[in-house]
Amino acid sequence: MGRRGEHSKLEIECMALEAAEAIIENEGYDALSARKVASAIGYTVGSLYFVFRNLDELVQRINGRTLDQLYASLIEALSDCRLPQQCIYALGSAYLGFSARHPHRWRMIYEQQPRKDNLTLEIYKEKLDRLYELMEIQLKALADVPEEEIIVSSRALWCGIQGIASMTMGRNPDSEDERWALKLSRHLIGHYLSGLGTTEFSGVVKQPIGHVIDYPK
């Protein structure tokens, strides 16, 4: 006992996060336990509490990493499109793809109860805002409207996509779920964007053809 200094605190932290991610990815959140994580990295339970305040903190950290990966997926998806409409479709597809590839970790993100005390919540909110921003950029490129309405529109669209993901995932055999989700997504986004051109929308729709957008680095 007490193999001192074999791994640094930071290394153990990293190993634990990766082990926990693997468990969740393969067996789901319910299969996660402190003992399982500890034994996976060759330590005992107590050591985990030397690095994390409790299991919840570990979960929050994983959620943070998942949000980062999701963001990266969305950025990558944007490199395949030009027109704002195409980009909005691409964002939806990428989101649905990610949630289908990592259903357990994706569920974890939005199933956690809101914990008031936590300052992790701030970072969390920041990471979410970054996702929203990607949609805002596309909407701004699509139409000249006041900031306020861009906010509402981007949230509405993301909520729609999120709802499709949450209601279609894991009901039918894998790939069929995803195709159905994509169909709903295209349908919802398509009709919603069409609606933006009508009288209900206070702004002026720009000519989108050939309009190329710079993404945040």
Q: Does 13 sit near DNA (CB under 7 A)?
A: no
Q: Are 99 and 174 in contact (CB under 8 A)?
A: no
Which of residues 15, 23, 25, 34 is near DNA by CB under 7 A? 34
Which residues neighbour 113 within 8 Å (Cβ) at sequence distance 6 or greater? none
- Least separation in angstroms between residue 183's CB and its own copies is 7
Residue 143: strand pairing partners: 205
Q: Does 60 sit near DNA (CB under 7 A)?
A: no
Q: Are 159 and 189 in contact (CB under 8 A)?
A: no
Q: Does 2 sit near DNA (CB under 7 A)?
A: yes
Which of residues 16, 23, 43, 88 is near DNA by CB under 7 A? 43
In angstroms, the CA 35 to CA 46 distance is 9
Q: Which amino acid is at 90?
A: A
Q: Which is closer to DNA, CB of 115 or CB of 187?
A: 115
Q: Please choose, from the candidates 187, 188, 186, 168, the residue with its C-alpha nearest in 3D space to the C-alpha of residue 178.
A: 168
Give how far Cα 57 sits from Cα of 66, 119, 125, 140, 184, Å.
Answer: 14, 11, 16, 37, 35
208 binds, among DNA, its own copies, none (CB under 5 to 8 A by kind): none
DSSP structure string for 79-100: TT--SHHHHHHHHHHHHHHHHH
By DSSP bridging, strand 143-144 and strand 204-205 are antiparallel
210 binds, among DNA, its own copies, none (CB under 5 to 8 A by kind): none
33 binds, among DNA, its own copies, none (CB under 5 to 8 A by kind): DNA
Q: Does 184 sit near its own copies (CB under 8 A)?
A: yes
Lay out the site mask for its own copies across 150-179 (x = CB under 8 A, - = otherwise): --xx-xxxxxxxxxx-xxx-xx--------
Q: Which of residues 24-63 bind its own copies (CB under 8 A)?
A: 28, 30
Question: Segment near DNA (CB under 7 A), from 27-35, 115-123, 150-158, 203-211?
Answer: 27-35
In angstroms, the CA 189 to CA 139 distance is 12
Q: Does 45 sit near DNA (CB under 7 A)?
A: yes
Q: Does 54 sit near DNA (CB under 7 A)?
A: yes
Question: Segment near its own copies (CB under 8 A), from 16-24, 65-73, 79-87, 191-199?
Answer: 191-199
Positions that interact with DNA (CB under 7 A)? 1-7, 9, 12, 32-36, 42-47, 49-50, 54-56
